Structure 1
Amino acid sequence: LHGPEGLGFSCARLKYLFTFLLPEVCPGTQNGLSSTGSQETQYNLIKDRYSGCEIIMGNLEITQIESNWDFSFLKTIREVTGYVLIAMNHVQEIPLGQLRVIRGNSLYERRFALSVFFNYPKEGSNGLRQLGLLNLTEILEGGVQIINNKFLSYGPSIFWQDILRDNSAPIDIQNNGERGLTLNDLIFDAPVALSIVSLFVCLMTKMVCAPQCNGRCFGRSPRDCCHIECAAGCKGPLDEDCFACRHFNDSGACVPQCPQTLIYNKQTFQMETNPNAKYQYGSICVSQCPTHFVVDGSSCVSVCPPDKTEMERDGQRQCELCSGFCPKVCNGTGAEHRQTVDSSNIDSFINCTKIQGSLHFLVTGIHGDDFKNIPPLDAKKLEVFRTVREITDILNIQSWPKELNNLSVFSSLTTIQGRSLHKRFSLMVIHIPTLTSLGLRSLRYINDGSVYISQNANLCYHHTVNWTQLFRGRRVRVNNLNNNKPFAECDAGCWGPGPDQCLTCRNYSRHGTCVGSCNFLSGSDEECVACHSECKPQRGKVSCTGTGADECVACSNLQDGPYCMSSCPAGVLDEHRGLIFKYPNKEGHCEPCHPNCTHG
């Protein structure tokens, strides 16, 4: 390659294989600089979350890793919808060579889509030396912060204005290693490197694009513009030639919106159902939302709006308008001002059926917080949680009243969604010495995340639960069930002792309690159904043939024709005879009053 002509010639002929397949999507984190556990635990949690991942739905946070661990599993990541945070690590490289676009839907400190700082030890030379973001060509929202990285040289010299879509986004780069070579250095000082520059200009910059191009290009000609829906560059002019999509990826094509659920028929002048409709899931168009998300119109959402409630339709949870009052949805805990359930906020959970977020039970909530002048929590107050049927994020119990030996206040809880996890867990019960059983008798679904039940010295029954049966979704779950009461010292069981603690019944179920026999069944789940309240119980015999008041073998009070009733009709309007009044005879049957009677 020689001169500008060679530069343009090579750009026009660069062809790279880029196939849009259904990507592996992983949830991001919102931990900031916080971390728990040992270095090995921290590393394993990151590896478990991101191995094989291509798109991170949320933030990528790599923080406080002091050993030079192998992070090669990050090489598959192509897109991050939130921000990328690399801070306070001692590793030499974070291999994000395939990362093409950071969307910046959420920003670190509300400003930065990429933040890299303090990645070196106080002593030694084992700090971050290269970012390795070879293919990062687009940051859609937010700016860049690269500060106080003692050994980092090349990253700060990148022409970041070319990568940021927002020209007003902040760029804070200071106090890093010695300045590395820039693009201009290569162009003017190293003719041999011109082929490298050619590759960089074609794929990594929009500086050489013709004025007619609205964004990036794959050559210098006005005909070499990328499609308007492309982000991060392209290999051709079509919407299928993009390296990443500005808005949505529909089976490899970049589109401004996903195929809508309703389309207009120009012949009938009506809106009709679109058989090819798809839902918006982050930046991807999908034919079905993930199991821990809900369909709202044409989108996959983590929570329904206030005027809608979740309903199961054709195997998928959907947001539907409430008929009358919506089930009560309450905010959970975990925020800075509401870290745990405590005596100051317990009343806010009265009559809640769904917790939007998480529930945390920490020592400062159960035993009180002298610093904040919050008294201990009365154990009886926890009864408010008996109405809760769903938690959208996690249930985290690290402290519990000593008067309670189980978690039966959550006996109505059926679903833990796990939409936002703590590390990789959505159910955690840790270090509760008085706990003897879980008592989560209604729990049927854990849609994402694993289970951590550990260091509960007297806890039994948890090992008899078929946890795999509760899990939904494709992700492999690795539970941590250890350091509880030895199995050999526990009786066999389910969620706890008694027939009302079974996950499933061997024979029949009556109002959540397993029974050995049943006279009247309903539905496909072998559920015993009670007779009508006006039926008289028949000891050792069948009391009814159905659920209606006209299907009793005998009546507890009175009988009017085939119906058992608590009282005879008085002033009931009949379209043929007018008002009807009846009286009970000696046998308890309702007889009509004489026609001349007017009020019984």
Structure 2
Amino acid sequence: MLIYNVDIRSIDFPSLKIIWGDDLLDETSALTLSSNLELKELRMPKLRAIHKGNVRIENSTFLCYLQSKVNWNELLEDDAENRLITSDSAFRQCNPKLLKCTECDHCWSGKAKYCQEEYRSVCGDRCSSRQCFLPANSSEYECCHEACTGGCTGRGAHQCVACRELSLDGACVHQCPPMMVHDPKKGMLIPNPKGRYVYDRYCVEECPKELLVERDACVRHCSEGSHHDMTKDSRRCEPCKGPCPKGNLTLFV
């Protein structure tokens, strides 16, 4: 996400929960704020995690809440020291003593509706996932499942805010069930009736029609050494016999 040279006073992303960082600016930054001389508030009250990449803030002198009232360790998985990068020109017009949060310790702006949602710092050291939630009618935090990212709303891998790796029928998993499994009786691989393809961050029964199929994944392009034979009624990538034909990376439509 790049916010550059805007001339408005505030920007709101009221529903944004996760910045995945799949497409990093300069291969490093998931969120870059640069040369925003009029911008005073960037409000993202639902943001829970910046999954990959750094945050870079430069020449944005009035984004004062980001300097002292946002808990970046919550968003950067307790690694703000290395993943939050600010230039000398950032925050130079800020006075932290003038900033206040309403009904919370950390916030994106002064009103209560802009309080930052915190689920890591409140856990202490008792959760291996370093994420926790507060059950209804309870004063004791409980741990989130390790497959979660961004925290959770309850116990188990099916109540994560988002999945660290993949989602299978609403539950977070580390990998999808393979399309082929070993049958020890037959001594060979056989189709897995519960197998799923990897599509984006999901385990799916079928790949979308606009995509190709390579092994256990839905892909836009065949990998090096494979091609899609458009003369066949198939979307599968096949190993090339000899040099791959030109255009082997063509997206199937």
TM-score by length of 2: 0.78
Larger Rg: 1
Q: Deviations over 1:406-438 (max 9, x none)?
A: xxxxxxxxxxx4xxxxxxxxxxxxxxxxxxxxx
TM-score by length of 1: 0.35
Q: 1:133 aligns with which of 38, 44, 67?
A: 44
Cα 1:316–1:293 change in 2 (3 A) is same
Q: 1:218 aligns with which of 111, 116, 133?
A: 133
> One-letter code of the match for 2:190?
E
Corresponding position of 2:28: 111
Q: 1:156 aligns with which of 53, 61, 67?
A: 67
Return the offset for 1:233.
Answer: 0.9
Name the CA distance, whole Å, in 2 between partners of 1:185 and 1:217: 20
Return the offset for 1:215.
Answer: 2.2
Pairing 1:154-553 to 2, within 5 Å after superposition: 154-157=65-68, 158-165=70-77, 167=79, 169-174=82-87, 175-176=90-91, 177-179=93-95, 181=99, 186-187=104-105, 200=116, 203-213=117-127, 214-219=129-134, 221=140, 224-265=142-183, 270-311=188-229, 317-327=235-245, 353-354=246-247, 392=250, 417=251, 447=253
Corresponding position of 1:144: 55
Q: Secondary structure at the match of 1:169?
A: helix
Name the CA distance, whole Å, in 1 between partners of 2:67 and 2:234: 47
CA contact (8 A) 1:210 1:221 kept: no
1:97 aligns with 2:14: yes
Name the CA distance, whole Å, in 2 between partners of 1:205 and 1:182: 21
Name the CA distance, whole Å, in 1 between partners of 2:49 and 2:113: 20
Q: Secondary structure at the match of 2:67?
A: helix
Question: Structure 2: which 5+ residue stretches go unaligned?
Answer: none
Name the CA distance, whole Å, in 2 between partners of 1:179 and 1:114: 23
Cα 1:130–1:314 change in 2 (3 A) is farther
Name the CA distance, whole Å, in 2 between partners of 1:272 and 1:182: 62
1:87 aligns with 2:9: no
Return the offset for 1:216.
Answer: 0.6
Cα 1:318–1:179 change in 2 (3 A) is farther
Q: Secondary structure at the match of 1:204?
A: coil
Q: Deviations over 1:300-340 (max 9, x none)?
A: 2232222111135996522111233321xxxxxxxxxxxxx
CA contact (8 A) 1:142 1:166 kept: no
Once superposed, what is the RMSD of the aligned Cα atoms? 3.3
Q: Secondary structure at the match of 1:156?
A: helix
Cα 1:277–1:152 change in 2 (3 A) is same
Name the CA distance, whole Å, in 2 between partners of 1:155 and 1:326: 51
Q: Which one has a larger percent helix, Structure 1 or Structure 2?
A: 1
Name the CA distance, whole Å, in 1 between partners of 2:78 and 2:232: 42
> One-letter code of the match for 1:242?
C
Q: Secondary structure at the match of 1:154?
A: helix
Select the structure with the greater relative contact order (CA < 8 A; seq sep ≥ 6): 2
CA contact (8 A) 2:76 2:83 kept: no
Q: Deviations over 1:428-459 (max 9, x none)?
A: xxxxxxxxxxxxxxxxx8x5xxxxxxxxxxxx
